[in-house]
Amino acid sequence: MNIKKNAFLLGLIHFLSEFRLYAAVAVLYFTEISGSMMLGMGVFSVAMLSGAVLELPTGILSDLVGRRRTIVLGAAASLISIMLYSVGKGILWLMAAAVFEGLSQALFSGNNEAFLYGHLKSAGREEEYKAFLGKILSMAHIALSVSALIGSLMLIFGTYAMLFRLSIIPRALGLAAALFLDEPETTDRDRKSPWHHLRESLWEVCRNSKLLRIFIADSLSDGAGEAAYQFRASFLKMVWPVWAIGLAGTLGDVLAAFSFWISERWIDRKGYKGVILVGKLYSIISNVAAFLMRNVFSPVLLTTNALFYGVTGVARSDMSQKLFTDRHRASMGSIKSFAGSLVYALLAVVIGGVADRFGVIAALVSFQIFGVVSLAIYMNLFKTDEV
């Protein structure tokens, strides 16, 4: 198997699937079509919930039918999603598109990393996983930052609908690229029933105390972190004009792409322990400082967290992949993503409730407790285990 070819195609698929000209104005388009801000935001909720519900079934599907076919299905679902969004005839079309978007995310989640690790393992090159993964994932953030900038400029003479229609092109190219992928030789397809396979996967996670602690720490960190990230626009508008809020996101994507790109060298120099603990500690301190300062420099300080986003993500993924079994690799990855989605779904409501009662800053500062708990779990893990 040609590892470089498959890694290149996987990176290209990530780039094309995240090349979203409409990203910065999606909620405005959804609100315009639905006639309601609540319904407009509801489209995002449907995409997230459908992805969470389908997370485990698609992980099992990957282990049963293979990694390549799952990526092709994910790319096809992504293409259908953007085509339905582009129709723009009403809320039902948008909700249907959101379901396919969630399906696409679920098919890619866990499977794509299993695809990459499988190829490297078949060649005896597992130690290069973090190098390949870092560069592949950086493609998504490069696409997000570039497409957001291009999309903003195109709005000078175009419409929201035009941005969605033009985004069909990269999705179609992504599906074409997926057809040229090769199945990893290490893929061991399970012929048992899906539910039996799921029970086995859950048992593999629960009986490995090291892996279980990683799952708990990452679910808390990712779920609470995503909820706070989606909510922080409520804080940013206190210190920056609304039109400038998107700049923080673009800068964050650029820094995240850089972090993913250099992750291998960073991890090799500092190790899992140094990268993860320093990254989490910096995130907690910088977040609290930025929220309490509440001035024009706060968004910049918050954005610097992205420098650790990529490298810590690659380190945590590499640690997990080494503990996953080949037969359950995608399912175990989906279990991890599913847990994070559940935490996010719960805490997204909680942070809004806390903000309603105690204020935005109090809510965002208090949510750093989940980062502290995650940090404590990792400190215990590195203290008791050689990772």
Residue whose token pair is 């992205």: 306
225 and 155, same domain (yes or no): no
Q: Is 233 inside a domain boundary?
A: yes
What would the DSSP string read from start to end of 254-308? Answer: HHHHHHHHTHHHHHHHHHHHHHHHHHHHHHHHHHHHHHHH-STTHHHHHHTTHHH
Structure tokens at 378: 């990792």
What are the tens digits of pLDDT across the range 190-241? 555 566 666 777 787 778 788 889 889 988 988 888 878 877 777 888 888 8
Same domain, 168 and 225: no
pLDDT digits (tens, 9 = 90+) for 94-107: 999 999 999 998 89
One domain for residues 126 and 217: no
Token duo for residue 26:
């999606």
Residues 6+ apart with CB under 8 A from 283: 225, 305, 308, 371
pLDDT < 70 positions in the chain: 1, 24, 37-38, 41, 186-198, 242-243, 245-246, 326, 330, 385-387
Q: For residues 65 and 60, give the distance between their C-alpha atoms in angstroms, rounded to a whole number.
A: 9
The per-residue pLDDT for 336 is: 81
Does the residue 198 lie in any domain? no
CATH number of the domain that 168 lies in? 1.20.1250.20
End-to-end CA, the chain: 30
Q: Do both 178 and 241 map to the same domain?
A: no
C-alpha span between 363 and 385 (Å, rounded): 34
Are both 144 and 252 inside the same structural domain?
Answer: no
Total count of domains within the chain: 2
Q: List, for residues 36-83, the tens digit of each pLDDT value.
A: 766 776 777 788 788 888 877 887 788 788 889 999 999 999 999 999
List C-alpha distances in Å: 143 to 52, 139, 177: 24, 6, 16
CA-nearest of 236, 250, 253 to 294 is: 236
Query: Are 112 and 228 in the same domain?
Result: no
Q: In this structure, are residues 186 and 122 in contact, taking their beta carbons and an 8 Å threshold?
A: yes
| 90, 310 contact by CB (below 8 A) | no
Q: 254: exposed, middle or buried (C-beta count within 10 Å: 0-12, 13-18, 19+)?
A: middle
Name the residue range of residue 157's domain: 1-189
Are residues 208 and 158 part of one domain?
no
Domain end: 189, 222, 238, which one?
189
Q: What pLDDT is attached to residue 193?
A: 57
Task: Note the pTM of the prediction, 2 decimals.
Answer: 0.73
Contacts of 168 (CB under 8 A, 6+ apart): 79, 82, 83, 86
DSSP 155: T
